[in-house]
Amino acid sequence: MKEFNVNCSKAFDHYIALDKHERVPLPVMVHLVFCPVCRAAVRQMAAAETLLSRPLSVQLTKSNLSDDPVLSAALDTIAAAGLSYPVRDPVAKRVSLLRWFLVGILLAGGFALFPFTSSGIWMQIEFGNAFVVPFYILCGCAVTAYGGLFVGTNIDLFVKRFKTLKTGF
């Protein structure tokens, strides 16, 4: 196995320090995109965490508890007091790709069609190039920022896609 270099160990330390479901910082995410060793280690840790957390997600019932009356009475008291909570799977707060694409098309289409609206025509007549150049710079910056947000929030999709293209499957 390839040894970690200094950048790998720093990135890996930052990743290990994160809480569960905490957003991965951009420098660590970029490192994971370009470092197959760290990416594989993170995948192995995620698979191990998933595997190890399965037994903990089982709801306790009287049928899978021991026949200890003290334990049963304690659990009944906790449940009666309302201090037990149901086990729920974490909900991934993701926006579907269809919504990303629709909003991106609406954004780009709105910028493309705005100069042809009555407001756009009036602004071009009144301000001329003083309107057109800043408007196109604003459009370019907005579409670039939107594309960056899309890639940044869906980086796992792109990593999987590049891996699939690289291996040929």
Task: Round to whole Å and give the CA distance between 132 and 136.
Answer: 6
Q: Using pLDDT thresholds of 50, 70 and 90, give the confidence band for residue 110.
A: very high
CB 143 within 8 A of CB 107: yes
- How would you class 38 by CB atoms within 10 Å of its CB: exposed for 0-12, middle for 13-18, buried for 19 or more? buried
Q: What's the pLDDT score for residue 3?
A: 47
Q: Using pLDDT thresholds of 50, 70 and 90, give the confidence band for residue 118.
A: very high
Flag whether pLDDT at 119 surpasses 50: yes
Q: Using pLDDT thresholds of 50, 70 and 90, give the confidence band for residue 1.
A: very low
Neighbours of 12 (CB within 10 A): 20
Residue 60 has what DSSP assignment? P
Q: What's the pLDDT score for residue 103?
A: 93
For the chain, the structural domain boundaries read 6-55, 97-167
Q: What's the pLDDT score for residue 90?
A: 61
Query: In sequence order, which residues have a C-beta less than 8 Å from that of residue 57 and are 6 or more positions away?
Result: 87, 89
Neighbours of 91 (CB within 10 A): 7
Give 10-67 pLDDT, tens digit per residue. Answer: 888 888 888 877 888 888 888 888 888 888 888 888 888 877 776 655 555 655 555 6
Helix (H) or strand (E) holding 105: helix 97-113
In 3D, which of 24, 41, 156, 36 has the Cα closest to residue 97?
A: 156
Average pLDDT over residues 105-111: 92
Flag whether pLDDT at 5 surpasses 60: no
pTM attached to this predicted model = 0.43
Q: Using pLDDT thresholds of 50, 70 and 90, give the confidence band for residue 117.
A: very high
142 token code pair: 């907005």
**Of the listed ranges 59-68, 89-98, 118-127, 149-158, the one predicted with least confidence:** 59-68
SS3 117: coil
57 token code pair: 């997600």
Cα atoms in the Cβ-side hemisphere of radius 13 Å centred on 30:
5
Average pLDDT over residues 93-111: 87
CB 109 within 8 A of CB 139: no
